[in-house]
Amino acid sequence: MTTKKKRNELSLKQKGDLLKIRDGKNSRQLTEAYGVGRTQVQNILKRMHEIMDAFEDNGSASRKRQY
């Protein structure tokens, strides 16, 4: 019997930090460092420009979702 893994959603600040340290690291290393799934990391990398714009606009850094 397997145990369910609790979902871990990153805040805007954590997503910005992930994008800043992504140089030289692959998706697997980022998933282990932040404790999230590979798909979530890949979606963050794909939406990099949207996330960085929101991060730089000084939105609420603790907010987890856009809307």
H/E stretch holding 9 reads none
> Residue 67 — very low, low, confident or very high, per pLDDT cuts 50/70/90?
very low
Q: What is the per-residue pLDDT for 47?
A: 92
Q: Which long-range CB contacts under 8 A does 38-44 form with residues at least 24 apart?
A: 40/9, 40/10, 44/10, 44/15, 44/18, 44/19
Q: How far is it, in rounded angstroms, from Cα 4 to Cα 43?
A: 22
Is the pLDDT at 57 greater than 80? The verdict is no
Q: What is the per-residue pLDDT for 43?
A: 93
